[in-house]
Amino acid sequence: MKHIKIIVLNLIALLGCSIMLQAQNNYKNWSDIIRKSDAAWFATPEAQTIAENVLLYQRNIGGWPKNIEMQKPLSEAEKQSLIALKSDLHDITTDNGATCQEMLFLAKMYKQKPDERYKKAFLLGLDYLLEAQYDNGGWPQFYPLKKGYYTHITYNDDSMFHILSILKQIAETSDYNGIPISQDYVAKAKVAFDKGITCIIKTQYKQNGVLTAWCAQHDENTLAPAKARAYELPSLSGKESAKIVLLLMSINNPSPEVITAVKSACTWFEKTKITNLEEKRILNDAGKIIDKKMIPATNASPIWARFMELDNNEPFFSDRDGVKKKSLDEIGGERKNGYAWYTDEPKEPLKKYPSWEKKYAFEKSEKKKAESENVITVAQDGSGDFKLIQDAINATKAFPYENVTIHIKNGTYYEKIRIPEFNNNISLIGESKEKTIITYDDYFGKMNLGRNSTFYTYTMLVEGNDFSASNLTIQNSSGDIGQAVALSIMGDNAYVFNCNILGNQDTLYASGNNSRQYFKDCYIEGTTDFIFGKATVLFENCQIHSLKNSYITAASTPEGTAFGFVFKNCTLTADKNATQVYLGRPWRIYAKTVFIECKMGNHIVPQGWENWSKPEAEKTAFYAEYNCSGEGFKPKERVKWSYQLSKKEAKKYTVENVFSKVQRFF
């Protein structure tokens, strides 16, 4: 009986496996599986089995080959063959939905079953998409590049639409169908998406000076319509242009260029629609198309030709000989029946266009109204709203709901600027970093206000939250005469981009209670403790320049704060007379300062850090470095109480971690 029971159980198990394999084989198309609406299915053993195939087919570079039915069971020999192909760089593509559809499948899998392998494979696919993009914003059909027409910018079969849809979702939500995306990837996705849209705008074809639509392929260098296969001649595409327009219509706050592109394409769709023909398909007993006929009709549902002449929009057709024909009946049965020569896809953007246009018209009027209230220009020659920056700040509303932008024209503004706590949401944008200069010359001795005189010496004081500044020089011009602050930020959520912060001792005071600040692509110079304070600050891609032998930082990070001063990918330079410079010393004993992947000149002393005659700070301060370079990076000679971070430890110093949550500017 026992043996019979075992046999029965084995038969049941085999039957279960057979049913499962049969269920897999019942899926005729891989694309149907990916788009299953039953989310719970992606947690089933059946889905997990298919996911193992998807992981096997992915190449090390991150992409997948096309036209693979991932649901088909693999033998052990086939699995070993796929493992051997991992490093192969041939036939990896986004054509026919490849790579994008596998990424979507893995995201759906991860949402139901958070296997880190799915997330890792998805991110590897994202790396592939980002790497494959041309500098002009387009994507080739195959990457690494495959010789021939495959190098053209490819809209064919909606390839770029699928790529840009992925990047758009990541850039807007920091998530892709359940996979959380780090801010590093979000930033890259935003840049890649914007470049892709720029490419789309530049490739929209002008017919006799009028914008129309797009070709299935465009030359990767000239951006002109290009040929692919013999029967895919340069032309305007009724099919591919539809998805491009839908993508453009999905953009929030579209630029004037995007609006013009959508309007022009929809006008072209209306002009080129065909309402006097219907396609009739003749099928055999197996359901296969054996003939197509275009039948004259009255008020037929609109269709569009796949290929239209560039100069007059006339439909044309072509066999594998590449010779243009005027009707479908003129080409052989293999191409006539095996290719989609007509499409109804432009119906969707045309259906959405009226509401899109209405929404845009409303938003445009509202935006214009808001801009008149929230955009101010400062110009010394009187051509703006104000001649002085402080007057412009004083004229802004207290606690505005929307950001107030103050454009500052080139000039040297000798002003002592204060942005009070009630003037939040202010952005100062200079005309140019080199020629828009805000300067003042207060210093400790001049103020003569007692032991705390330093804090009154600022050229610019920011007390309001949600402040940003870009394309400016902010300077304390008093010279090397003691403490003299150029920029003092006390508010939370501040962003300073592409600015020069110039001074000597105490150039930048980054402080405020729970203040978070982000300096990107800035030049900051000084002598002693020229970056000091208790704020949490990320300095990224900045040049930190020492004017003489002294100390760069003097953090006063409060006890229990997760991060203090964080320098990432910065370059540390110095004047010729500065040969003995410390990375920092603790203004207060819980100081935190970290340098990550920074390049350090030979002016940095081997010991790196100094305790400011506070031996207790050696136990409480946190001074660290990771993977830095340059003559000044001497990790083995640093003071024993500093740290060299591990790769795992360094990974936590991301924008989202440093600032707890994504802020308006981050």
Predicted confidence (pLDDT) per residue in 607-644, tens digit: 999 999 999 999 999 999 999 999 999 999 999 999 99
What pLDDT is recorded for position 32? 87
What pLDDT is recorded for position 11? 36
What pLDDT is recorded for position 28? 66
In the block, which residue shows the tokens 């053209």? 152
Q: Which residue ranges does the chain devote to CATH 1.50.10.20?
A: 202-374
What pLDDT is recorded for position 1? 42
Per-residue pLDDT of 215-256, as tens digits, reads: 999 999 999 999 999 999 999 999 999 999 999 999 988 888
What span, in angstroms and rounded, lies between the C-alpha atoms of 219 and 149? Answer: 9
Residues 201, 258: contact at Cβ < 8 Å? yes
666 confidence band (pLDDT: 50, 70, 90): very low
What span, in angstroms and rounded, lies between the C-alpha atoms of 469 and 492? Answer: 14
**Of how many residues is the chain composed?**
666
Mean pLDDT over residues 91-100, rounded? Answer: 96
Instruction: Out of 28-37, 301-310, 509-518, pick the least confident.
Output: 28-37
What pLDDT is recorded for position 22? 40
Mean pLDDT over residues 396-414, rounded? Answer: 92
Per-residue pLDDT of 579-605, as tens digits, reads: 999 999 999 999 999 999 999 999 999
CATH code at 202-374: 1.50.10.20
Is pLDDT above 60 for 132? yes
Q: Considering 157, 158, 492, 529, which one is annotated as catalytic?
A: 529
For β-strands 277-283 and 289-296, DSSP reports them as antiparallel
Residues 620, 589: contact at Cβ < 8 Å? yes
Instruction: Output the pTM of the full model.
Output: 0.56
Mean pLDDT over residues 574-580, rounded? Answer: 95
For β-strands 210-211 and 206-207, DSSP reports them as antiparallel
114 confidence band (pLDDT: 50, 70, 90): very high
Is pLDDT above 70 for 53? yes
Tokens representing 537?
A: 């600050």
What span, in angstroms and rounded, lies between the C-alpha atoms of 557 and 511? Answer: 9
Residues 304, 274: contact at Cβ < 8 Å? yes
What span, in angstroms and rounded, lies between the C-alpha atoms of 37 and 205? Answer: 37
Per-residue pLDDT of 316-343, as tens digits, reads: 999 999 999 999 989 998 998 888 999 9
Closest listed residue to residue 403, CA positions, set 182, 541, 253? 253
Q: Which residue ranges does the chain devote to CATH 2.160.20.10?
A: 379-431+438-467+478-492+502-514
91 confidence band (pLDDT: 50, 70, 90): very high
What span, in angstroms and rounded, lies between the C-alpha atoms of 419 and 398? Answer: 11
Mean per-residue pLDDT of the chain: 91
Q: How far is CA 14 from CA 8, 21, 343, in A?
A: 10, 11, 46
Per-residue pLDDT of 429-442, as tens digits, reads: 999 999 999 999 99
Mean pLDDT over residues 438-450, rounded? Answer: 96
What pLDDT is recorded for position 660? 58
In the block, which residue shows the tokens 């994507």? 139
Q: Tell me 464's DSSP state.
A: S
Strand partners of residue 622: 592
Does 506 participate in catalysis according to the annotation? yes
In the block, which residue shows the tokens 């299915």? 41
Mean pLDDT over residues 471-487, rounded? Answer: 97
CATH code at 379-431+438-467+478-492+502-514: 2.160.20.10
Is pLDDT above 50 for 520? yes
The type of residue at 666 is F
Helix axes 116-132, 183-203, angle to 10 degrees: 40
Q: Considering 157, 319, 442, 506, which one is annotated as catalytic?
A: 506
Q: CA gyration radius for the chain?
A: 31
What pLDDT is recorded for position 21? 39
Does 529 participate in catalysis according to the annotation? yes
Closest listed residue to residue 258, CA positions, set 160, 348, 360, 346? 360
Mean pLDDT over residues 42-62, rounded? Answer: 96
What span, in angstroms and rounded, lies between the C-alpha atoms of 197 and 200? Answer: 5
What pLDDT is recorded for position 20? 40
Is pLDDT above 70 for 546? yes
What span, in angstroms and rounded, lies between the C-alpha atoms of 97 and 131? Answer: 18
Q: Is 166 exposed, middle or buried (0-12, 13-18, 19+ CB in 10 A)?
A: buried
